[in-house]
């Protein structure tokens, strides 16, 4: 049995049910404002899953190499290794405001210190991945096939982060996300994402503060769900909003699974502008040729589960066609996974009442300009980092194709 916590206080209990399902029950005294998800309001009746656990509980479970590492380390102790076993390991340190502990345990994140400067300066060389997976795997409640680690930078308690944030001395959670990739399979993917995020910034999209390590092996991102007082904002990805399991992240369309669902759950004084930003993000993915923009790569962020909910900052942006030349879109648009034309993107925006043809075309022009400007940065970086030069040239070539075929009305 697992105790669920929201906003640092107990909210209910989760336990196995039947052969492969689960049941979650809210504690009788829980206030509606502490619901675990916008999709699961507080009620007396239990929330039951015939298979697995509810999407909000599964949302941050590690995938790929990190999950396998945890399975090998803990399967002997647990006897099995299902989602609840994984929650019992990584549940105290998660992205967002929901936490998990044993039914009789207190909540204590207790993430070890790891100076971000050591990662950025490459002080551990090729040993850094091994060091982080050994020490931080149990504290890394964050999804993704490629390894991601959640670390606590002690400097956040003194000098603060680049935005000037200084956390209270009592804070024991993670402050940063460190992302690694298999260089033999996806060479220079950290730099790839770094420049894709720079393009997103130039499009006017919110992006978490991020830095590339000097050796190009890792990308370090500030947590966008962390408040200055050490508490957490609510975060829910679009698998949760669509009531889909992680394994279904490639199911659905940008029309219904992303835009319509956002307009259903977002609460904002300027929903139209936020919807336009989401349109910009979808169009940017087309221009970047990011074939992995699935349901888990979009999210909402809120301070109060019953209050305003906004589009989360852009994250997980890469040019996948550098590695998979024939890659297609992760979700469908107009019933197809083929990269859309600029005219089809305009039709998509018009059908969702996002603005006039002129307004949507202006957004796409801004994306084209952002890609062109960022391409200059890619070229400069490639001159100083010869190991990236070939990847950078292929990225820019893909952006040119994306701008021509998906962001132009000609």
Q: Quick check: 25 pLDDT over 60?
A: yes
Token pair of 262 as six digits:
């956002």
pLDDT in tens, 167-200: 888 889 999 999 987 777 889 999 999 999 999 9
Distance of CA 273 to the CA centre of its chain: 22
User: In what order do the strands lie in the sheet containing 98-102?
Assistant: 47-49, 21-26, 9-17, 2-6, 98-102
Each domain of the chain, given as residue ranges in start order, spans 2-64+77-102, 116-222, 234-406
Tell me the pLDDT tens digit for each residue of 130-160.
888 889 989 999 998 888 999 999 766 554 4
Tell me whether domains 116-222 and 234-406 share a fold. no
pLDDT, residue 131, reads 85
pLDDT at 80 over 80: no
Kindly report the pTM of this predicted structure. 0.93
Measured distance CA(309)–CA(399) in Å, rounded: 32
More confident residue, 356 or 164: 356
Question: What CATH class has 234-406?
Answer: mainly alpha
Whole-number pLDDT of residue 157: 55
Closest CA to 114 of 176, 190, 180, 181: 176
Q: What is the mean pLDDT of residues 202-222?
A: 94
Identify whether the C-beta of residue 81 lies closer than 8 Å to the C-beta of residue 64: no
Q: How confident is the model at residue 78 (pLDDT cuts 50, 70, 90)?
A: low
Tell me the DSSP string of 65-103.
HHHHHHHHHHHHHHSS--HHHHHHHHTTSBSSSEEEEET
**CB atoms closer than 10 angstroms to residue 268:** 15
pLDDT (0 to 100) of residue 70:
86
Asked whether residue 232 carries a pLDDT value surpassing 80, the answer given is yes
Band of residue 164 on the pLDDT scale cut at 50, 70, 90: low
Classify 148 as helix, strand or coil. strand
What is the CATH code of the structural domain delimited by 116-222? Answer: 3.30.200
Supply 201's token pair. Answer: 């910034």
Sign for the pseudo-dihedral over CA of 240, 65, 131, 87: positive
Length of the chain: 410
pLDDT confidence of 100, banded at 50, 70, 90? very high
pLDDT digits (tens, 9 = 90+) for 300-346: 999 999 999 999 999 999 999 999 999 999 999 999 999 999 999 99
């Amino acid at each position: 049995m697992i105790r669920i916590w929201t906003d640092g206080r107990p909210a209910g209990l989760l336990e196995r049910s039947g052969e492969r399902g689960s049941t979650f029950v809210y504690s009788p005294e829980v206030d509606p404002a502490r619901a675990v998800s916008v999709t699961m309001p507080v009620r007396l009746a239990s929330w039951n899953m015939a298979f697995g656990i509810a999407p909000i509980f599964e949302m941050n479970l590690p995938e790929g190499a990190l999950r396998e590492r945890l399975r090998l380390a803990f399967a002997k102790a647990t006897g099995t290794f299902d989602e609840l076993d994984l929650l019992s390991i990584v549940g105290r340190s998660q992205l967002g405001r929901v936490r998990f502990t044993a039914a009789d345990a207190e909540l204590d994140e207790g993430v070890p210190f790891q100076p971000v400067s050591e990662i950025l300066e490459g002080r551990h060389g090729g040993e850094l991945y091994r060091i982080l997976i050994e020490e931080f795997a149990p504290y890394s409640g964050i999804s993704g096939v490629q390894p991601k680690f959640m670390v606590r930078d002690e400097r956040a308690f003194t000098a603060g982060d680049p935005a000037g944030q200084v956390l209270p001395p009592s804070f024991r959670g993670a402050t940063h996300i460190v992302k690694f990739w298999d260089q033999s399979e996806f060479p220079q993917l950290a730099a790839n994402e770094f420049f894709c995020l720079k393009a997103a910034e130039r499009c006017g999209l919110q992006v978490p503060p991020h830095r590339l390590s000097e050796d190009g092996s890792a990308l370090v991102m500030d947590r966008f769900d962390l408040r200055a007082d050490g508490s957490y904002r609510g975060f829910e990805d679009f698998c949760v909003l669509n009531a889909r399991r992680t394994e279904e992240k490639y199911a659905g369309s940008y029309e219904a699974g992303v835009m319509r669902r956002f307009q259903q759950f977002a609460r904002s004084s300027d929903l139209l502008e936020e919807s336009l930003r989401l349109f910009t993000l979808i169009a940017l993915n087309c221009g970047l040729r990011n074939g992995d923009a699935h349901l888990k790569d979009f999210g909402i962020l809120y301070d109060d589960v019953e209050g305003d909910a906004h589009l989360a900052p852009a994250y997980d942006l890469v040019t996948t066609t550098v590695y998979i030349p024939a890659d297609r879109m992760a979700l469908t648009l107009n019933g197809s996974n083929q990269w859309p034309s600029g005219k089809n993107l305009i039709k998509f925006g018009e059908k969702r009442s996002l603005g006039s043809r002129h307004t949507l075309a202006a957004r796409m022009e801004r994306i084209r300009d952002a890609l062109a400007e960022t391409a200059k940065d890619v070229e400069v970086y490639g001159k100083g980092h010869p190991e990236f030069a070939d990847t950078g040239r292929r990225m820019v070539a893909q952006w040119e194709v994306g701008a021509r075929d998906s962001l132009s009305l000609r």
